[in-house]
Amino acid sequence: MTFCGLQTLSLVDFPGKVAATVFTGGCNLCCPYCHNARLVTAPPELREHHEEEEVLEFLSSRKGLLDGVALSGGEPLLHAGLSDFAARIKAMGFAVKLDTNGCDPQRLQAILETGNIDYVAMDIKNSLPKYPPTVGVLGFDAAPVAESAALLMEGATDYEFRTTLVRELHTRADLLDIARWLTGARRYFLQNFIDSGELIGSGLHGFSPDEMRTFAETVRSFYGEVSLRGVD
């Protein structure tokens, strides 16, 4: 595999772990608020490149210093070599986290069945009817996303759901629709949108800290755990 980014140390990407994060290029969605736009829209030849052996050599040098590795993107499950790569880093003694948009439940199930994924963070973009405008894909079919969410809720692999909230895209009613859909989920994180300066869209804004806290309280009873990210 070829990776388009390597974060050598993170205390936030893998809950409870000191981790490195590797980023794959390409995505099947075009979310206007995506903060990694270069991984989605830039031609492959203009993206940062790290070959698999380079990443593995780095990880080998960090044994005993890092607890885990987060596989992020882009959308990692677009890459056929991801499962083999996960197996290689798992064999090195690292815990493995997968970030995914949940659009490919078959590949998600296949990689979970290997036993090489310890934790999954699945993005919940919006309530199911509002997926098309939120992900920037006209006529988007959200049924596979719902299938992936059910797979995680019914499976044995630890997981979280997370939604990045954008003032122009999300409402309290949307969050309640999501909560009714995912009632009983283990944990749900609300992330405040922050303009990274490298977005696909423009003219987007986050919410105030007080608004974010109100949203969290609105849906807290539906989940095992609700927490905020990106809120002071």
For residue 45, the model assigns a pLDDT of: 57
Residue 207 lies in a domain: no
Residue 189 lies in a domain: no
pLDDT tens profile 16-56: 999 999 999 889 999 999 887 777 776 665 567 889 999 99
For residue 43, the model assigns a pLDDT of: 61
Residue 148 lies in a domain: yes
- The pair of structure tokens assigned to 73 is 């993107």
Residue 200 lies in a domain: no
Residue 62 lies in a domain: yes
Domain count, the chain: 1
Residue 222 lies in a domain: no
Residue 156 lies in a domain: yes
Distances, alpha carbon 126 to alpha carbons 47, 165, 196, in Å: 29, 9, 20
Residue 178 lies in a domain: no
pLDDT above 70: percentage of residues in the chain: 97
The parent domain of residue 36 ranges over: 2-166
pTM (two decimals): 0.94
Of the candidate ranges 34-48, 56-70, 173-187, 211-225, the one whose mean pLDDT is the lowest: 34-48
User: Which CATH number covers residue 81?
Assistant: 3.20.20.70
What would the 3-class secondary structure string for the chain be? CEECEEEEEECCCCCCCCEEEEECCCCCCCCCCCCCHHHHHCCHHHCCCEEHHHHHHHHHHCECCECEEEEECCCHHHCCCHHHHHHHHHHCCCEEEEEECCCCHHHHHHHHHCCCCCEEEEECCCCHHHHHHHHCCCCCCCHHHHHHHHHHHHCCCEEEEEEEECCCCCCHHHHHHHHHHCCCCCCEEEEECCCCCCCCCCCCCCCCHHHHHHHHHHHHHHCCCEEEECCC
